[in-house]
Structure 1
Amino acid sequence: MAGNDAGALYRRIQELESKVEQLRVSRRVLMRLVEKSEAEKWELVNRLRQEKEQIQLRNRRYARAIWEKNKALVLLTNKLQGISLPRA
């Protein structure tokens, strides 16, 4: 009886050690997946940040161009208002 109990306990210990090893492997796999996911996230964040900076730069250039065109229109309007048209 004592031999069977010892054998059963030994088998149970082996099963538990096997499960612990499987959990370790699973944990390593999950950690690699998490690390890969984090790396991809930061890559995306950096790419979006660069894209945002490029868009802001283009918007500033566009706003500057509109401002210059608006100034030219105001100057032309003022010149036209200063010229009196001959009446027929």
Structure 2
Amino acid sequence: MALPLETKKAIVNKYIADKSYTKASIINKDAKIKSLQKKIDKALNQEKDTKQTTQKVEEVSKVVQQPLITTTDNYSNQASTQFNQGDDRQ
């Protein structure tokens, strides 16, 4: 039983449309996957930067917590040390 020419054309066009839709769907999904990969990479880089920043902040806070020695304190400590050394020699 032969199908009329119009029915054959309709079947072929539907097949082509289905293939085109499938191809477009695959391309769209591939683009979404690439977009998600970029977001994941960006998030991982931000996490890495956050860890490095946290480490730097911890290092700075250790330095800030150390007692400060002013220049005058340093000179007076040196002077008293030199004076005491002079006393020991006499």
Instruction: Tell me the TM-score normalised to structure 1 length.
Output: 0.70
| Aligned partner (choices 40, 53, 57) of residue 27 of structure 2 | 40
1:83 aligns with 2:68: yes
Q: Which runs of 5+ in 1 are unaligned?
A: 1-15
Over 4 Å off, 4+ runs: none
What is the alpha-carbon distance in structure 1 between the residues aligned to residue 68 and residue 38 of structure 2?
Answer: 48
| Aligned partner (choices 55, 60, 74) of residue 73 of structure 1 | 60
The secondary structure found in structure 1 opposite 2:4 is: helix
Q: Displacement of 1:77 after TM fit? A: 1.5
Which piece of structure 1 moves more, 21-30 or 46-55?
Answer: 46-55
| Aligned partner (choices 17, 33, 37) of residue 30 of structure 1 | 17
Measured on the aligned residues, the alpha-carbon RMSD in Å equals 1.9
What is the alpha-carbon distance in structure 2 between the residues aligned to residue 46 and residue 65 of structure 1?
Answer: 29
Alignment identity in percent? 10
Per-residue CA deviations over 1:41-60 (Å, capped at 9, x if unaligned) read: 11111112222111111110
Per-residue CA deviations over 1:47-82 (Å, capped at 9, x if unaligned) read: 122221111111100000011111111111221xx2
Q: Which runs of 5+ in 2 are unaligned?
A: 76-90
The secondary structure found in structure 2 opposite 1:83 is: coil
Q: Displacement of 1:18 after TM fit? A: 1.5
Q: Size of the alignment, in residue pairs?
A: 71
Instruction: Tell me the TM-score normalised to structure 2 length.
Output: 0.69
